Structure 1
Amino acid sequence: MELNLDQIPREKTLTKKEFLRKYFRPQKPVVIEEFIGDWPAHSKWSLEYMKEVAGEKTVPLYDDRPVKHDEGFNEPHARMKMRDYIDLLKSEPTKYRIFLWNVLKEVPVLQNDFTYPDFGLRLMKGLPMLFFGGSDSHTFMHYDIDLANIFHFHFEGKKQCILFPQSQTKFLYKIPHSLITREDIDFANPDLEKWPALKHAKGHIAQLEHGNVLYIPEGYWHHMKYITPGFSMSLRAIARKPKNFGKAVYNIFFMRHFDNLMRRIKGQEWIDWKNEKAVSKTHDFLFQK
């Protein structure tokens, strides 16, 4: 038995009016296949090009090890020169990923290769972020701390994206006081006997290739798996729904600080309690249905 996932709709291109009517207002995801053909990045951006323009930069790397109580919020697991990291990506599978790497801050020349598209939303122009990964590397299922509207532009290789709306959180084994689900769930191939609530979750799936754009609506859970080595860039716009905006403010100004405080006070006991609570809370809801 597999997850209940619908294919995300695909459009060759969309006007602003069409995007707002068909996808933004109803908060539905979409893959736009040929939207950025006029960007210099469409023809220029590859792993080899990134090695050329950013090879000397030291980059933070993350893998899929579980969260530890003594690690800070988004603390990297390793560091490496970009050129060495790209050589590693091309030579063998690796769990190491780069995420939330600020284009404007790290390699300003890259901003000449793209423009901020007019989707009818005000994009945050100081926050174009790059994400890199090797074959079979993946993110944990998570949603972004600010519950933003995300436009995810993929370059080189293939990437699988699984999305769930916030309405499905009750089935996903969410960790309390965090933005992730249980880290030992493989959403690309889940054990539905061990995690029975997932049978009830209704989500979406798509595979991205070079030049595709994925719109991820406000607060959607997302799991990204690199089928082959590649990278993506995300642009974002703040949450428009009052409920989501309020949750974003809570996450940023209270939740993450409270979680860090409890890690310092309780240590690994806090992490273990959260993991247990994710299961008990989900199963309590499931079996009371």
Structure 2
Amino acid sequence: MSEYSKSTRTKIKDCFKFLSQEAREFSLGGAVQSLDAVPSALAFYREFVSPNKPVVLRGLIDHWPALTKWSPTYIREKMGQQTVTVTLTPNGYADAVHCGKFVMPDERRMTMGEFLDALDHNDHVPGVPYIQKQNSNLADEFAPIIDDVESDLSLGSEAFGKAPDAVNFWMGDGRAVTSMHRDPYENLYCVVSGWKTFILIPPTDQPFVPYVLYQAAKYKLKDSGEFEIEDDTDSGQVPWIDIDPLRPDLTKYPDFANAHRYEVTVNAGETLYLPAMWFHHVRQSHGCIAVNYWYDMDYDIKYNYYKFVEKVMDVVK
């Protein structure tokens, strides 16, 4: 590499740092804001959706019967014999990089009662169980309790101008962790019981977040109760983030030190607006229950700028 190209590369990387700093100082601030009063759809759009800025909303789901009804006992009574899809992993990390591969979880069908037994007793099933099927499983597999929540959130549908593309039910072991990733959805994430802690990184900091291609693979639970990893040749290679924001390997990924991380805990009865394309890593309390609403993002000029930065990153690399 010539001295000129080295100098140009350094200048571009300095521009990335400037972009990150400007976003924090003029738009995002130093922490995720919380609101005790639910804003109008217009105010929500102007203050948070348009600037692509997360916020915790209190009071949005106060009227949900689920907040008082959804105990393990109630769920067992209402749908203990209902068959649901449960993911199993040996370490709590589904859809994550392990042993140099992007590894997806083993999926099993079991009754909701069996899943609740597995949460109560770690030896009932091998590995870490988690209900996280992301294909609008609330309507598909949780119909007996769907009336305790809403199939749509009026705040979201008015602000985004569309109905949700998917509504998902989440419940899992406290050892289950969602590895850092991003989604092309506007996300309203409602915690019904327990808590979830999110580590968020804004899209403006994407130059510091390492995306690498990995061979896709899946965990397979053997009859012995042990897990093995099998390549998923149909999926080929998958781009993913191989970094733990709690314990980042800055020797391997030194640029990650420049990524600004926001940490926010969402408690029962609260809703996190997680804007599209924000990187996020999630931990949870044991038995935490949540329902989230995904709305298709708009591929507007913000997305164009995002892709432009992505292309400049490729040039720098």
> Does the CA-based 8 Å contact 2:86-2:108 persist in structure 1?
yes
Distance 1:22 1:243 in 2: 18
Partners of 1:50 and 1:173 lie apart in 2 by 40
The alpha-carbon deviation at position 74 of structure 1 amounts to 5.6
TM-score under structure 1 normalisation?
0.72
Is the Cα–Cα contact under 8 Å of residues 123 and 236 in structure 1 kept in the other structure? no
- Alignment CA distance shift 1:8-1:43 (3 Å): same
What is the CA-CA distance between 1:211 and the residue it aligns to?
Answer: 1.0
Give the Cα–Cα distance (whole angstroms) in 2 for the partners of residues 96 and 243 of structure 1.
Answer: 40
Q: What percent identity do the matched residue pairs reach?
A: 21
* Conservation of the 8 A alpha-carbon contact between 2:87 and 2:105: no
| Structure 1 residue 54 corresponds to structure 2 residue 64 | no
Determine the C-alpha separation between the residues in 2 that align with 1:124 and 1:203: 30
Once the two structures are superposed, residues 176-206 of structure 1 have per-residue CA deviations (whole angstroms, 9 ceiling, x without a partner) of 3645311xx3223334344322211013221
1:216 corresponds to which of 264, 267, 274: 274
One of 141, 154, 158 as aligned partner of 2:180: 141
What CA deviation, in whole Å up to 9, does each residue of 1:204-260 have, x standing for no partner? 2210111110001112111111133312111121112336779xxxxxxxxxxxxxx
Confirm or deny that 1:197 pairs with 2:265.
Answer: no
In structure 1, which of residues 100, 117, 122 is the aligned counterpart of residue 153 of structure 2?
Answer: 117
Deviations 1:133-171 (A, max 9, x none): 211320111122xx0100000121121111122222221
Q: Unmatched 5+ residue regions in structure 2? A: 1-23, 214-236, 305-312
Aligned to 2:38: 14
Say whether residues 1:132 and 2:171 are aligned partners: yes
- Give the letter for the 1:81 counterpart: T
Instruction: Specify which of 234, 237, 243 is matched with residue 292 of structure 2.
Output: 234
Structure 1 unaligned residues grouped into runs of 5+: 247-281
> Which residues of 2 match residues 1-289 of structure 1 at below 5 A?
6-15=30-39, 16-56=41-81, 57-63=83-89, 64=93, 76-92=106-122, 95-99=128-132, 100=134, 102-115=137-150, 116-119=152-155, 120-125=159-164, 127-144=166-183, 147-176=184-213, 178=238, 180-182=240-242, 185-242=243-300
Q: Which amino acid aligns with 1:106?
A: E
Contact 2:97 2:241 in 1 (8 A): no
Separation in structure 1 between the aligned mates of residue 76 and residue 301 of structure 2, nearest angstrom: 41
Q: Secondary structure at the match of 2:52?
A: coil
Q: TM-score, normalised by structure 2?
A: 0.66
User: 2:207, 2:290 → 1: CA distance?
Assistant: 29
Q: Tell me by how many angstroms 1:75 deviates.
A: 5.8
Following the alignment from structure 2 to structure 1, what is the Cα–Cα distance between the partners of residues 209 and 113? 37
Note the aligned Cα RMSD (angstroms): 3.5
Q: Is the CA contact 1:6–1:205 (under 8 Å) kept in the aligned structure 2? A: no
1: CA distance between counterparts of 2:69 and 2:280? 27
Q: Which has the higher strand share?
A: 2
1:11-61 deviation line (CA, Å, top 9, x unaligned):
113222321121111110001122111122222223433333332213231
Partner of 2:240, secondary structure, is coil
Alpha-carbon offset, residue 79 of structure 1: 4.2
Q: 1:92-119, CA deviations, whole angstroms, 9 ceiling, x for partnerless residues?
A: 5963322126111112233312232222
**How far does the alpha carbon of each residue in 1:64-84 deviate from its partner, in whole angstroms, 9 at most, with x for none?**
265689x99966344433222
- Structure 2 Cα separation of the partners of residues 138 and 218 of structure 1: 20
Closer/same/farther in 2, CA of residues 79 and 105 from structure 1, 3 Å limit: closer
Alignment: residue pair count? 245
